[in-house]
Amino acid sequence: MFRKLKTLIGGAALALGLSMNAPGAGAVELTMYYPVAVGGPLTKIVDGLVADFMKANPGIKVNAIYAGNYNDARIKALAALKSGKPAQLSVMFSIDIYELIEQGAIVAFDDIVETPEEKAWLKKFYPSLMENGMTQGKVWGIPFQRSTIVMYYNKDAFRDAGLDPAKAPATWDELVSMGKKLVKKSGGQTVRWGAMIPSTGYPYWMFGALTKQNGQVLMNADGNKTFFDAPATVEALQFWRDLGNKHGVMPSGTIEWGTLRKNFLEGKTAIMWHSTGNLTVVKNKAKFDFGVAMLPAKKSRGTPTGGGNFYIFKKSSPAERKAAMKLIRFLTEPGRTAEWSMKTGYIGTRPDAYQTEALKKYVAGFPPAAVARDQLKFATAELSTYQTGRVRKLLDDAIQAALVGKKSPQDALGSAQKQADRLLKRYR
């Protein structure tokens, strides 16, 4: 009797064990968080790409989890890490790199790549896109959903103001002079502004463009020193403020990031500076003839890069890391990068993506798509340091304080620099 029971239990246990093991033999399961920061059906596109990957690699199961905006994605990934059920890889803000390193959360790609072919792969991307992913001489992040700032302009408004619609302002002076012509008033009311540069949400990002154009970067490559009070930085902020307060090209006060696209689409501003991530939406929704141009120059052209990188987490087995590498390489293949870029407006992250038939054809038919790529020559890293959240907020507050006229650019940036120094001292 007992024996019978024993065999029965044993058999059941065996069967259970088998049934649990069978599909798991050799299979790797990956969890990946990814954020969406711009409009458009991005989640569907990502899900499609991941499904393609699983079809091509039956041994790997990928759970791609949409995790809100960049901030949410970081919080969720780090929370998962602490809870002991971490993701193996994630797309997160490229500027989170120092934070993630300090938390001991990620591994460098240099420590994972094995074959010479994989090592060569690390060099396949645009160098200016790699800037935010590299520190301490190693690569920590692989560019994925990356953008820059470009200038969208309403060609109909240009015609209306008697300007050449093929020629967008190429310098700060032209931005002022053409902007003044583009301002349209009716009965003391401004019905159309010359230009708008958003100053909520990500003011430091727009400011990174203005400073780069004035020949100044905002921080060093080790992420432990900022240059907020450099004369060229102050001059850039003065110019931004003058656009609103002195030249009347832009509304004074702060300009909302979230509603700016609608302002542009409704013709309330002739020019807007915005992420390339908006390109596809603007293309689909604009009822007027619009153009896309590089940002204007003072000393040179310039823009920060932006957006999300792939990171691989330290808490992962060698097999998982290998599978994660496979997934990242799959998603950044030239053909898929081209597809991703066409569907979203994000930059193709590597030069050979622009050599693919599909993207070549797309760029030929829709030249604005190439503007962001060509601008990469002048691009610099997005503001990113140790204690990056705090340091960024110091700069954001300083910019807004100056734009609303609460402080002079000199005072605002001076005190931001002083406080940033205090935070970063212990990392030098």
Partner 1 sequence: MLLTPAAILLIAFTYYPAVATLGQSFFSAGTALKPSVFVGVENYSFMLDDEVFWQVLKNNLWYAVGTIPASIAIALLMAVWVNGKLPLRGFIRMSYFTPTVLPMIAVANIWLFFYTPQIGLIDQVAGVLGLTTYNWLGDPDTVLTCIIVMTIWKEAGFFMIFYLAALQSLPPELEEAAKLEGAGRWYYFRRVVFPLLMPTTLFVLINAIINSFKLVDQLFILTKGGPDNASSLLLYYIYEVAFSFFDQAYASTLTVVLLVSLAVIAIGQFVFLDKRIHYR
393 belongs to the binding site for partner 1 (CB under 8 A): yes
Q: Which residue has the tokens 């689409």?
A: 265
Q: What are the CA-CA distances from residue 199 to residues 160, 182, 208 (Å)?
A: 27, 21, 12
Judged by CB under 8 A, the residue of 44, 123, 390, 428 near partner 1 is 390
Backbone torsions φ then ψ of 421, nearest 5 degrees: -60, -40
* 252 touching partner 1, by CB under 8 A: yes
Per CB under 8 A, does 397 bind partner 1?
Answer: yes
First to last CA, the chain: 75
Cα separation, 414 vs 116, in Å, equals 47
Q: Is 259 in the site for partner 1 (CB under 8 A)?
A: yes
Could you give phi then psi for residue 246, rounded to 5 degrees?
Answer: -100, -50
Which residues are CB-neighbours of 257 under 8 A, at least 6 positions away?
A: 198, 199, 200, 201, 202
**Of these, 142, 396, 409, 424, which contacts partner 1 (CB under 8 A)?**
396
Our finding on whether 199 is near partner 1 (CB under 8 A) is yes
What number of chain residues touch partner 1 (CB under 8 A)?
40
Determine, following the binding rule CB under 8 A, whether residue 229 of this chain makes contact with partner 1. Answer: no
CA distance 424 to 336: 39
Using CA atoms, how far residue 259 sits from 40, 262, 363, in Å, is: 15, 5, 28
Least distance (Å) from partner 1 to the CB of residue 381? 19
253 binds partner 1 (CB under 8 A): yes
Q: Are 302 and 378 in contact (CB under 8 A)?
A: yes
- Closest by Cα among 94, 108, 34, 93 to 64: 34
268 binds partner 1 (CB under 8 A): yes
User: Which of 58, 258, 318, 365 touches partner 1 by CB under 8 A?
Assistant: 258
Residue for token pair 């299979």 = 27
The 33-72 site mask, x for binding partner 1 (CB under 8 A), equals --------------------------------------x-
Does 105 engage in binding with partner 1 (CB under 8 A)?
yes
* Token duo for residue 265: 């689409």
Tell me whether residue 57 or residue 408 sits nearer to partner 1 (CB atom): 408
For position 245 contacting partner 1 by CB under 8 A, the verdict is no
**Of the two residues 215 and 267, which places its CB atom closer to partner 1 in the complex?**
267
**Beta pairing class for 142-154 and 303-313:** antiparallel
Residue 389 to residue 384: CA distance in whole angstroms: 9
**In terms of CB distance, is 126 or 228 closer to partner 1?**
228
* Contact present, 69 and 36 (Cβ < 8 Å): yes
Q: How far is the CB of 297 from partner 1 (least distance, A)?
A: 27
189 interacts with partner 1 by CB under 8 A: yes
Instruction: Find the part of the chain contacting partner 1 (CB under 8 A) among 39-47, 140-148, 287-295, 400-408.
Output: 400-408
Match 């997934």 to its residue by tokens. Answer: 327
CB of 108 to partner 1, least distance (A): 14
Does residue number 375 form part of the binding site for partner 1 (CB under 8 A)? no
Q: Is 127 in the site for partner 1 (CB under 8 A)?
A: no
Element housing 308 (H / E): strand 303-313
- Out of 36, 139, 178, 403, point to the residue binding partner 1 (CB under 8 A): 403
Interface positions with partner 1 (CB under 8 A): 71, 75, 78, 99, 102-105, 187-191, 199-201, 251-256, 258-259, 262-263, 266, 268, 387, 389-390, 393, 396-398, 400-401, 403-404, 406
